[in-house]
Structure 1
């Protein structure tokens, strides 16, 4: 597929970058969501892709939120279309869920502001590394609430009490503050941002990424309850043997060597 708002960069060890370029502020609209979904589908199906990094071409903004002005102006359509705004919210939720469900590790490379919808997309990724900017779910300051999965994912990640504090007070956190609050995984030196993100992505890419995808599937099943979650885990464990990763890993273990999961 030819992308207008994204650049796909395939780098070594199967690390692939999705770079968003939707000037001026990387606002999340229908066209961008369609391209993000197409990119997820393409990269998920590509066996050469081992790790995905979501980044921005804008040095100051990771992603902005939805086009709220347009949504408010269009809300007059409520008379003609039931639950118009709820459907818009569900549309963004479905787009971001594609990243949460992608059977490969996904890293949000946040080197700029990630407020509202930008934070919600980052929360849908498996790892969040951040340099410059601030991050947070700030919708309550506008009389709104997070509507693209933020209330659910932030609560899962930082816990109910902290999620209430961050959402109710519309906190905007620096990278260091976000680490302290458990919102991101690492605060990265902005002057060496891409290199540090690349090093982390390559560390993942050299591992058993198929097993990581199955572990991700099992972790995502936590919400289904313990009994069903255990069933998902058992099947995922069995599915690891459908790849050559167990034979590679076990052979290396018995030979007291580092496993090489990247087969040329």
Structure 2
């Protein structure tokens, strides 16, 4: 089963999740395929690149960890294997050696919201889809890397409320509360996200990566094998 498509549009990589009917949920095979794509993106030596992480589904961006998969493996597997592996991916995305934009076209729940938070910028459909950290209602905690994702979001009060109550925000409210950078119509979402990414790609990739990592020093312990800027 394929989980993603990857294409290069001028200077912008578009990595699209393609299992929206199943919520674009995460399991080990999902992370395996993501590894292949991130390896290719990081290894591209071009001086001007950016990445958009998108979904081809209007209802689901990513609903996070595949809970049915975890139940089949057991909760020990979640805490001993899957969460540490996901933590490494969050660190890798947070320190990726090019600008990253999450283009949130539908629901981003749990791990999906964390992946979006690890990106440099977030755009979201204004009238459909919600972003949510539901761990409180699932009786689960957050790992240190997941806490770093949450703390990347600039509005402390909003992120506190989201984590402690499990409240889900729609696009317009998420933008008003600085959880996402822009809330856009369905028609404008991808074109304007690509335009933003192209603008970011025009920046020198080495300088961008250096500055990003300087501003996110705590991520170093979660992304020790981060690739150089180019």
Q: Same fold by TM-score, threshold 0.5 exceeded?
A: yes
Q: Deviations over 1:90-139 (max 9, x none)?
A: 11111222111111001101011001111011011111111131001012
Aligned twin of 2:103: 109
CA contact (8 A) 1:154 1:183 kept: no
Take 1:168 and 1:84, find their aligned partners in 2: how far apart are those partners? 22
Give the structure with the larger strand fraction: 2
Take 2:218 and 2:84, find their aligned partners in 1: how far apart are those partners? 22
Aligned twin of 1:39: 37
Distance 1:57 1:147, change over 3 A: farther
TM-score (ref. length: structure 2): 0.85
Aligned twin of 1:121: 115
Distance 1:203 1:159, change over 3 A: closer
Q: 1:71 Cα shift?
A: 1.8
Counting only pairs closer than 5 Å after superposition, residues 186-225 of structure 1 correspond to structure 2 as: 186-221=182-217
Take 1:96 and 1:150, find their aligned partners in 2: how far apart are those partners? 8
Question: Number of matched residues?
Answer: 219
Give the structure with the larger helix fraction: 1
Take 2:123 and 2:144, find their aligned partners in 1: how far apart are those partners? 20
After TM superposition, the structure 1 stretch with the greater mean CA deviation from structure 2, 104-113 or 202-211, is 202-211
Q: 1:5 aligns with which of 3, 6, 27?
A: 3
Take 1:169 and 1:202, find their aligned partners in 2: how far apart are those partners? 36
Between structure 1 and structure 2, the one with the greater Rg is 1
Q: 1:223 Cα shift?
A: 6.8
Q: 2:146 aligns with which of 137, 144, 150?
A: 150
Is 1:136–2:132 an aligned residue pair? Answer: yes
Aligned twin of 1:18: 15
Take 2:120 and 2:18, find their aligned partners in 1: how far apart are those partners? 22
CA contact (8 A) 1:175 1:187 kept: yes
CA contact (8 A) 2:12 2:201 kept: yes
CA contact (8 A) 2:101 2:123 kept: yes
> Pairwise CA RMSD of aligned residues?
2.5
Q: 1:144 Cα shift?
A: 1.9
Take 1:189 and 1:152, find their aligned partners in 2: how far apart are those partners? 29
CA contact (8 A) 1:178 1:184 kept: yes
Take 1:191 and 1:160, find their aligned partners in 2: how far apart are those partners? 31
Take 2:89 and 2:52, find their aligned partners in 1: how far apart are those partners? 16
Take 2:78 and 2:29, find their aligned partners in 1: how far apart are those partners? 18
Take 1:194 and 1:11, find their aligned partners in 2: how far apart are those partners? 12
Structure possessing the higher relative contact order (Cα contacts under 8 Å, 6 or more residues apart) = 2
Q: Can you give the 5+ residue segments of structure 1 that lack an aligned partner in the other structure?
A: 225-238, 244-264
